[in-house]
Amino acid sequence: MSARGPLAPALALALCAAAGPAAAQEYTVLVASEATDQIAVVRFGPRLGAGGTPAAKVETSRTVGLNPMDPDGPHGLAFAPDGRSYFVSTAHGAPYGSLWRFDAATGETLGRVELGLFPATLQVSPDGAAAYVVNFNLHGEMVPSSVSVVGLATSAGGGEELVEIARIPTCAMPHGSRLTADGSRHYSACMMDDLLVEIDTRTLAVSRHFLLTKGKEQGMPGAPMVRRGAHAGHDMGGHGMDAPKAGETVCSPTWAQPTPDGRSVYVACNKTSEIVEVDAATWALKRRIAAGDGVYNLAITRDAKLLVATNKRGRSVSVFDAASGKELARIPTLRRVVHGVAVSPDDRYAFVSVEGVGSEPGTLEVIDLATRQRVASADVGQMAGGVDVIAAARP
Amino acid sequence: MPVPALALLGLLQQPAQSPAAAPSPVARIVVSPSDPVVAAMDTLRLTGRALDAQGNEVPGVRVRFQQAGGWFEGAVDTTGLVRAGATGMLPVAAVAVVPGTRPFVERVGVRMVPSAAARVAVEGLPATLVVGQRVAPTATAYSAQADRREDRVRWTSSAPGVVSVRDGIVVAAAPGRAVLTAEAGSAKATVPVTVVATRVASVEVSPGTAPAAGWRTGDVLRFRAVAKDAQGRAIPGVTPTWSFSPGQGQIDPDGAFVGYEARPYTVTASLGDRSATAVVTLAARDVRRPATIVGRLPRERFNTEEVWLHPTEQVAYLGSGGGGDVMYAIDISNPAAPTVTDSIVSNTRRVNDVMTTKDGKHLVFTREGASDRRNGIVVASLEDPRHPKVLSEYTETVTAGVHSAFVYTQPKHGTHVYLTNDGTGALHVIDLNDPSKPKEVATWKTPRPDFAGDAGRSLHDIDVQDGLLYASYWNDGLVILDVGNGVKGGSPSNPVLVSQFKYDLNDMYRQVEAAGGPGFIRGTHTAWRHKNYVFIADEVFPSEGVKGAPANSAAGGRAYGRLQVIDVSDMQNPKSVAWYEPEMGGVHNVWVAGDTLYMGAYNGGFRAFDVSGELRGDLRAQAREMVHVHTADPAGRVKNTPMTWGVVVRDGLAYVNDMYNGLWIVRMEPSKAPKPKVMQ
């Protein structure tokens, strides 16, 4: 789900240069399926299909989790910047979830650390030193939750071990988090508090927060006040699937995506179906962009030209011109409950995960950002959520 | 948790394209105390010093503490404050971060031990002894939280000339009275003992009246001993010390003996310098019998989950999991050809539990993994049992998911559904008197320390009989609630705790940790009340399977687990009296009909065993197992691998559901055991 850090494009470019024309570049995509504890390893190539057509093929499926009987619920997923390992958050637990690290080539488990309640969206910092994971805390009392910061430590025995180096309190139901390209700031959205939260990664503390409710937008310094009991209980709108009531002003933010230059932060307002742009310098509302129904996750190309949004209720993916806010295309998805999106390191493709409903398979759908059309898809495990992509090494 | 202080400053201050963090200058973290021990329900402060390779303290480093397991038992905060909520081992990672370098981590284990001894329990010490009698009572110290302690109990006697205690052996030396005291710390128990003057001249032992068919392995023989004086008069009130040889079995201080082998046993009662023996010969139990697979309904699209039978019609209902969103209705009027007649597809990815109302008019099934994350239960009308129709659902307070549901009707209170909440570990009671409008009337959960929140609380399964609810509460063991029985004034809208049976899961499954490492899965999983017993079964899996095993292969791992027989004839003091562990399998769901217990044993397949009569000791060793069917299928969802879930029994047929291999209908055939040998 994460946009690649600055090292990744370099890696991709190097691979592309070695491989020849960029059009033939292939990609390795990972998709986490929360209902089946599966990580699908998918290879996509513009010429991988019959007759040199684009195709996405599931190469293998890897099981993640501790409990063979009950779902561990892999939710967030991100490659490390060097592409040699990847991280998966497992959200279900008894009650705490975990962050796992796997060898990207073999799938071997390299480490696991227990985090908070329902660890969800995650991203690895551009220097690879830390992983940021929101503790979504989906069930139980709606109380402020946190963002966990996990580092790779040298253990006393000489090995490597994942450790949580900070747990930063934020607000209720933190979701959809992303780092700036330079790794200096981390943004997350709190669904139940209508807030955007900024963490200064130098101090590992909340530096600012922003109220997203329509008509009440306001940037504020420091961490939000703890408002225990002031939330709407379990009513989270079917986790982004319920249509909002008429005149809804509550944003119910589900994703925060900074621009590559760090000057703005886009926030997906799932309830009002808008994208809010916040000026990172003045910490003020810049504009509201009308978006698809139930806009959910966001990704931005590295050249900052295109903003890609999944529309959870709208069964589609929208591509926006970031500068004008104009919706350039809305591409229907094959199945329902559109979830995550990751943009390829070369900005050419968007890889979209679609959960499906009930026994429907999850889907990985590939959108060509040049033609703004779906060019390939692959069925994966049910409840597909976390997704990330790297340029594939040549066989 | 507090934000890490300056120690973490600069961790991520490096330029984005800088190389990976440099090695830490920290070579060792010295944690104090070096062997941390804390009592349950107490706190302990850990501190840490980061040292370099030369043993010098690295300046400006704050050591941060992080929990690395043991969430069910305790907690540690970042400052090193340990809060112990139970006994066990709390793995802790001490992390030192030097700006610009990799974190350094040192693991420590905090032993959480029982708090101070609050009482001493003495067993096996008769109130009346005879001169020369020697007995070895047990004296065990317990904490205020009822955790068993390992204290060496100190014995004293108020009259050593009458009764003395040495190395735990009580010796009656002379007629008289004495008070024996067993002490552990400040806790003690006193037991008055009388040594009678009458000399024992003889002892007679009898095993009671043998049944017509003779004694068999697994039968509990209640031996009695009568001591007589020189005039042949019985000496009242004396209790012998019991022993037996040879062979395997168990004899309790009350003379209850159970033998595991078909052979002669010599049982001895000793009283002072007199003893008597009785020889009993046990025949083979011979309950093993053949089984026939009458019919099958393979299911390959999803995992197969709960099976349930309509109370009056020849219809079965079958859940699905592993992404399954369907509950099947199956015509079983011809068991050789079970046929799907209809199904309900729901917004779920697991139908883990299915149950009908007693009158067969409605059905409830559970949901987990809904796409809108509104889980809960679905209520269906069974106007036509072969074609269930969705009538209503209840999701409001159980959106996290419902794993198990039990439907129960009481004349006084009507029909309620008792639910487990996946998110909080709470019991929810839903009024189903208007099935079209289910409404919540109560919730209940096991108490935990404030600092623990919902941590470690997990309610897995529910059984209700005679207005008593038997909750399988994982770490909290078996919990019995009054939901209408009246023993504690409880009702569905006001569940009241009756009693709780806890046991040491970590100790019981030490071999699982040894095989697969710490952090393994274990807990009280299911319960079934039968006569004066509650059968409880644990779900146990190692934290790691066999390394190098092919994916989805039978070589990769296995379930473990023990079924315990809990005697609840004294409801306030449940007591474990017997157990059963299948070969190469776990113990999942059970069903009891008549004197037979049926079990889905995961990798161990379908098993049934004889639970007739009184139960003591190791039921498998007693050859009580009657039937075993290895429910594997070369064409199964997972090939050649059984994962037997459970069973429902009716009219002599066992409807066995296997997660990987669908529904099996099994008939236990009459015994073909050879005639017992004539014992001389």
- The answer on B431 and B394 residing in a single domain is yes
Measured between alpha carbons, how far is B61 from B108 in angstroms, rounded to an integer? 18
Chain B residues near residue A96 by CB distance under 8 angstroms: 71, 455
* Beta-carbon separation of B24 and A183 below 8 A: no
- The answer on B426 and B317 residing in a single domain is yes
Peptide bond into B574 cis (omega under 30): no
> What local confidence, expressed as pLDDT, does residue B289 receive?
94
Note the pLDDT tens digit of each residue in B274-305. Answer: 999 999 999 999 999 999 999 999 998 899 99
CB atoms within 10 A of CB A211: 16
Note the pLDDT tens digit of each residue in B394-447. Answer: 999 998 899 999 999 999 999 999 999 988 889 999 999 999 999 999 999 998
> What local confidence, expressed as pLDDT, does residue B455 receive?
63
Question: Count of domains in chain B?
Answer: 4
- Give CA torsion, residues A333, A337, A342, A344, to 10 deg: -20
* Beta-carbon separation of B20 and A129 below 8 A: yes
Report strand pairing: B104-113 vs B37-39.
parallel
In a domain, B254, yes or no: yes
* Beta-carbon separation of B106 and A155 below 8 A: yes
Chain B residues near residue A239 by CB distance under 8 angstroms: 372-374
CB atoms within 10 A of CB B252: 17
Q: Which sign, positive or negative, has the C-alpha torsion B504, B509, B511, B514? A: negative
Q: Which residue of B has its CA nearest to A65?
A: B543
- Shortest alpha-carbon distance between residue A383 and chain B (Å): 7
In a domain, B506, yes or no: no
Chain B residues near residue A126 by CB distance under 8 angstroms: 16-17
Peptide bond into A144 cis (omega under 30): no
Note the pLDDT tens digit of each residue in A216-245. Answer: 999 999 998 865 544 433 345 567 777 888
Length, in residues, of chain A: 395
- The answer on B344 and B396 residing in a single domain is yes
DSSP per residue, B463-519 = EEETTEEEEE-BTT-EEEEESSSSTTS-BTTB-EEEEEE---HHHHTHHHHHHH-SS
Average pLDDT for chain B: 91
Chain A residues near residue B346 by CB distance under 8 angstroms: 358
Interface of A with B in 85-104 (CB under 8 A): 92, 94-96
In a domain, B71, yes or no: yes
- The answer on B355 and B222 residing in a single domain is no
CA angle, B73 then B75 then B81, to 5°: 140
Report strand pairing: B74-76 vs B104-113.
unpaired
Question: Is residue B592 a contact partner of residue B601, using CB atoms and an 8 Å limit?
Answer: no
CB proximity A355 to B under 8 Å:
yes
Chain B residues near residue A236 by CB distance under 8 angstroms: 373
Q: End of a domain among B231, B265, B281?
A: B281
- The answer on B377 and B259 residing in a single domain is no
Chain B residues near residue A337 by CB distance under 8 angstroms: 371
pLDDT in tens, chain A (395 residues): 343 333 343 344 343 433 344 457 999 999 999 999 999 999 999 999 998 999 999 999 999 987 778 888 999 999 999 999 999 999 887 677 899 999 999 998 898 898 888 899 999 999 888 999 999 887 766 778 899 999 988 888 888 889 998 889 998 888 999 999 999 999 999 988 999 999 999 888 999 999 999 999 999 999 988 655 444 333 455 677 778 888 889 999 999 999 999 999 999 999 999 999 999 999 999 999 999 999 999 999 999 999 999 999 999 999 999 999 999 999 999 999 999 999 999 999 999 999 999 989 999 999 999 999 999 999 999 999 999 999 997 65
Q: End of a domain among B88, B113, B138?
A: B113
- Give CA torsion, residues A133, A138, A141, A142, to 10 deg: 70
Chain A residues near residue B24 by CB distance under 8 angstroms: 153-154
- Shortest alpha-carbon distance between residue B465 and chain A (Å): 27
- The answer on B425 and B320 residing in a single domain is yes
Q: Which residue of B has its CA nearest to A113?
A: B68
* Beta-carbon separation of B11 and A382 below 8 A: no
Note the pLDDT tens digit of each residue in B5-17. Answer: 333 333 333 333 3
B680 burial via Cβ count (<10 Å: 0-12, 13-18, 19+):
exposed
Measured between alpha carbons, how far is A319 from A326 in angstroms, rounded to an integer? 9
Structural domains in chain A, CATH included, are 7-391 (2.130.10.10)
Using CB atoms, which residue from A71, A161, A236 is nearest to B105?
Answer: A161
- The answer on B361 and B438 residing in a single domain is yes
In a domain, B382, yes or no: yes
* Beta-carbon separation of B20 and A94 below 8 A: no
Measured between alpha carbons, how far is B265 from B281 in angstroms, rounded to an integer? 6
* Beta-carbon separation of A138 and B423 below 8 A: yes
Using CB atoms, which residue from B9, B21, B324 is nearest to A129?
Answer: B21
In three-state secondary structure terms, A346 is coil
Q: Which residue of B has its CA nearest to A127?
A: B16
- The answer on B319 and B439 residing in a single domain is yes
- The answer on B318 and B444 residing in a single domain is yes
CATH number (domain holding residue B213):
2.60.40
Chain B residues near residue A153 by CB distance under 8 angstroms: 24, 95, 102-105
- The answer on B53 and B163 residing in a single domain is no
Chain A residues near residue B348 by CB distance under 8 angstroms: 358
- Shortest alpha-carbon distance between residue B520 and chain A (Å): 8
Domain that holds residue B424: 311-456
Q: How many A/B residue pairs have CB atoms within 8 Å?
A: 194
* Beta-carbon separation of B455 and A140 below 8 A: no
Measured between alpha carbons, how far is B225 from B272 in angstroms, rounded to an integer? 13
Question: Is residue B645 a contact partner of residue B306, using CB atoms and an 8 Å limit?
Answer: yes
Q: End of a domain among B456, B480, B514?
A: B456
